[in-house]
Amino acid sequence: MDETHALHTATGYVLRVKSSADEARTVVARLARGDVRALDELYASFGAAVFRYLLTFVPDRRLAEEVLQDTFVAAWRGADGYGGRSGVKTWLFGIARRRAHDSLRRRGLELVAENELVALVDPEPRPEESLLAAGRRDELNSCVEHLAPMHREVVALIFFHGLSYAEAAEVLEVPVGTVKSRLYGARRALKAMLEDSEYGR
C-alpha cells in the first residue's frame, strides 16, 4: 500500500507528502548507515511509547529505564537488519520485549505469567467503546493495572498503542489466535472488575 498522502493545492497540482511511517523508515535507514543523529530522532519519536509499553510488564521503573536504553542500543546495532516488513514501532516493541525478557531472566523473574490461556476466542471482538467511554477511562486504567501480566500487555499493545492483531502477535512472538485469546480473557476480566465496581458503589 502506498503510504503517501495526496494534497490537492489551489492550482490543481498534487503534492505527495511522506507519511510518518515512511519518515520513521527513513530514519532507520539513516541509522543503518551510521547516522548518529538518526538515533536521537528515533528516540524522540518512539522513546516515550516504548517506555510506557515496558512499564506494562517490567516490575521496576528503574529497570524499565535500563531496558529502554538497551533497546535503542540494540536498534542502533541491528538497524541494517530492519527490512521494513513491519512498522518501526512494532520493530522497536519487539526489540524491547526481547531485551526485557533477557534482563528479567538474568534476575530470575518472569516476563509474563504464562497461565493457561482462555480456550474460547471471539473471532470478531466487539468494539471497546463502552469501556473507553468518557468518564470511565480512569476507572478502566485502574482495572487494567490489575490484569494478569499477559492480559495487561496485549491490552496495552492493541488499545493504548494502536497495534493491529498481527503487529501485536509479531511483538509477542505468538500466533494471532493467541493474541485474540488473551484479549478475550482480558475483556472478560475487565468486564467483571467494572461490574464489581458498579455494584460496590
| pLDDT < 70 stretches in the chain | 1-19, 109-141, 197-201
CATH number of 5-106: 1.10.1740.10
Note the pLDDT of residue 20: 82
Q: Name residue 6's beta-bridge partners.
A: 16
Alpha carbon distance 73, 40 (integer Å): 11
Domain locations along the chain: 5-106, 129-199
Count the residues in the chain.
201
The string of DSSP letters for 1-55 reads ----EEEE-TTS-EEEE--HHHHHHHHHHHHHTT-HHHHHHHHHHHHHHHHHHHT
pLDDT tens for each residue of 1-19: 333 344 444 444 444 434 5
CATH fold for domain 129-199 = Arc Repressor Mutant, subunit A (1.10.10)
Q: The pTM is what? A: 0.68
